[in-house]
């Protein structure tokens, strides 16, 4: 129910709107009334008074018609380009972003050229700027949608490829066993072992896909204070079996006190450490070393993971955190892994308002480092 106060506000708003739109007509009418009253006071003859009154009325009408015409011109101008931007039902293709981008760019360029003919029309410049800003926002959204489509298609292609490899290996092992190898004690365990390894790889890939999906959707973190040195020791202890198989030394060099606590999600940071160590193990040769180090910094702790592995070529460094990116695709797949480990690291640290940095030299090793607040 509309209250009396609301009605007053609506009346005031409508009066203000009327005055804004018709301010020039109102001024002319006021001048006309004042002039007529003045002429009456100075005893002007009736014919002159009628002539002046009619003149004012004609001028007012001409001014009103002129405003209507300019309004119609502006309407036709912007209606034309609005119709050009609007997709036609018979030719609409929701995924054809390239064609849409070309079309919108052409409209923007054409508007720049044709706007000069209308620039002197009252109010045209303001409308042109607003319409042009809307068109440019549409162009930005189309470019973003195009990039998203390319990334989505690339991601789906990579997922399909990564899933196909272990599935094919499992299928081949099982078919070989079904064809009679299951009765051959010399090879049956070998094929079963291959199927188990590929099943584990498939599970790892699916788990990582779920993790990265949650991270990109904005996973909620459970932050608390904990000792970063103790967490690193716990992680090293859990991964000791992996590194011992390759005779790699895994150690912690802590310049930070054990009493130093960082504020973060300990489970997610542990996942970061596991992924970084696992990555180093894959690319570090036998008798190599992996050193984790903690260093006090300005209101934070610097954590680094440094190995003596194969290193990463400089041209590949900007892309190693992309999903499924592999420096050496054949060798990387032989070593296992989902190809998502470093991408997961990047996403987790970004949720902590931190960044992962990497420094590497071929045949010398790689160093990853990041910070956490204290």
The Cβ of residue 132 has, within 10 Å, a number of other Cβ atoms equal to 16
Among 190, 216, 242, give the residue marking a domain's end.
Answer: 216
Q: Is the same domain home to 262 and 302? A: yes
Q: What's the start-to-end Cα distance of the chain, in Å? A: 56
Say how far apart CA 286 and CA 244 lie, in whole Å. Answer: 9
| One-letter-per-residue 3-state SS of the chain | CCCHHHHHHHHHHHHHHHHHHCHHHHHHHHHHHHHHHHHHHCCCCHHHHHHHHHHHHHHHHHHHHHHHHHHHHHHHHHHHHHHHHCCCCCCCCCCCHHHHHHHHHHHHHHHHHHHHHCCCCCCHHHHHHHHHHHHHHHHHHHHHHHHHHHHHHHHHHHHHHHHHHHHHHHHHHHHHHHCCHHHCCCCHHHHHHHHHHHHHHHHHHHHHHHHHHHHHCCCCCCCEEEEHHHHHHHHHHHCHHHHHHCCCEEEEEECCCCCCEEEECHHHHHHHHHHHHHHHHHCCCCCCEEEEEEEEECCEEEEEEEECCCCCCHHHHHHCCCCCCCCCHHHHHHCCCCCCHHHHHHHHHHHCCCCCEEEEECCCEEEEEEEEEC
Domain CATH code at residue 192: 1.10.287.130
Q: Is the same domain home to 38 and 124? A: yes
Q: Is the same domain home to 188 and 279? A: no
374 residues of the chain, pLDDT tens digit each: 445 555 565 555 555 544 454 555 556 566 666 665 665 665 556 666 566 666 666 666 555 555 545 545 555 666 666 666 666 554 445 567 777 778 778 877 877 777 766 666 656 677 677 777 877 888 888 888 777 777 777 777 777 877 887 888 889 889 998 988 888 888 889 989 989 988 988 888 888 888 888 888 888 899 999 999 999 999 999 988 888 888 899 999 998 998 999 999 999 999 999 999 999 998 898 889 999 999 998 889 999 999 999 999 998 888 889 888 877 655 555 565 667 889 999 999 999 999 999 999 998 999 999 999 99
Q: Is the same domain home to 160 and 119? A: no
Q: Is the same domain home to 22 and 112? A: yes
Q: Is the same domain home to 78 and 180? A: no
Q: Is the same domain home to 130 and 182? A: no
Q: Is the separation of the CB atoms in 351 and 264 below 8 Å?
A: no
Q: Is the same domain home to 16 and 138? A: yes
Domain CATH code at residue 310: 3.30.565.10
Among 216, 239, 258, give the residue marking a domain's end.
Answer: 216
The number of domains in the chain is 3
Q: Is the same domain home to 166 and 122? A: no
Among 98, 128, 146, give the residue marking a domain's end.
Answer: 146
205 is in which domain, residue-wise? Answer: 154-216
pLDDT for residue 1: 44
Q: Is the same domain home to 72 and 108? A: yes
Q: Is the same domain home to 239 and 344? A: yes
Q: Is the same domain home to 137 and 189? A: no
249-254 and 289-297 strand pairing: parallel
């Amino acid at each position: 129910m509309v209250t009396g106060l609301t009605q007053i506000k609506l009346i005031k708003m409508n009066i203000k709107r009327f005055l804004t739109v018709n301010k020039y007509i109102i001024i002319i009418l006021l001048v006309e009334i004042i002039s007529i009253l003045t002429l009456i006071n100075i005893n002007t003859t009736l014919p002159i008074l009628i002539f002046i009154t009619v003149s004012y009325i004609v001028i007012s009408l001409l001014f009103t018609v002129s405003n209507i015409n300019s309004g119609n011109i502006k309407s036709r101008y912007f209606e034309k380009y609005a119709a050009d931007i609007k997709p036609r039902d018979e030719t609409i293709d929701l995924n054809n972003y390239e064609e849409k981008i070309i079309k919108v760019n052409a409209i923007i360029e054409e508007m720049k050229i044709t706007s000069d003919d209308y620039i002197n029309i009252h109010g045209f410049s303001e409308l042109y700027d607003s319409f042009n800003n809307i068109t440019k926002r549409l162009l930005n959204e189309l470019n973003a949608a195009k990039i998203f489509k390319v990334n989505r298609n690339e991601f789906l292609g990579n997922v399909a490829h990564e899933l196909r490899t272990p599935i094919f290996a499992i299928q081949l092992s099982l078919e070989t066993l079904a064809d009679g190898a299951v009765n051959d004690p010399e090879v049956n365990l070998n094929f079963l072992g291959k199927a188990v390894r590929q099943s584990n790889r498939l599970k790892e890939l699916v788990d990582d896909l779920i993790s990265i999906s949650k991270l990109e959707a904005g996973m909620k973190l459970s932050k608390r204070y904990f000792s970063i040195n103790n967490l690193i020791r716990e992680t090293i202890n859990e991964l000791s079996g992996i590194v011992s198989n390759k005779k790699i030394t895994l150690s912690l060099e802590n310049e930070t006190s054990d009493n130093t606590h960082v504020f973060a999600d300990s489970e997610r940071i542990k996942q970061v450490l596991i992924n970084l160590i696992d990555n180093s193990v894959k690319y570090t040769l036998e008798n190599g070393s992996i050193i984790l180090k903690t260093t006090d910094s300005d209101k934070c702790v610097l954590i680094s993971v440094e190995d003596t592995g194969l290193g990463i070529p400089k041209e590949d460094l900007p892309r190693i955190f992309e999903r499924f990116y592999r420096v050496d695709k054949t060798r990387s797949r032989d070593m296992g892994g989902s190809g998502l480990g470093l991408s997961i690291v990047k996403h987790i640290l970004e949720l902590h308002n931190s960044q992962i940095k990497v420094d590497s030299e071929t045949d010398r090793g790689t160093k990853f480092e990041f910070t956490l607040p204290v």
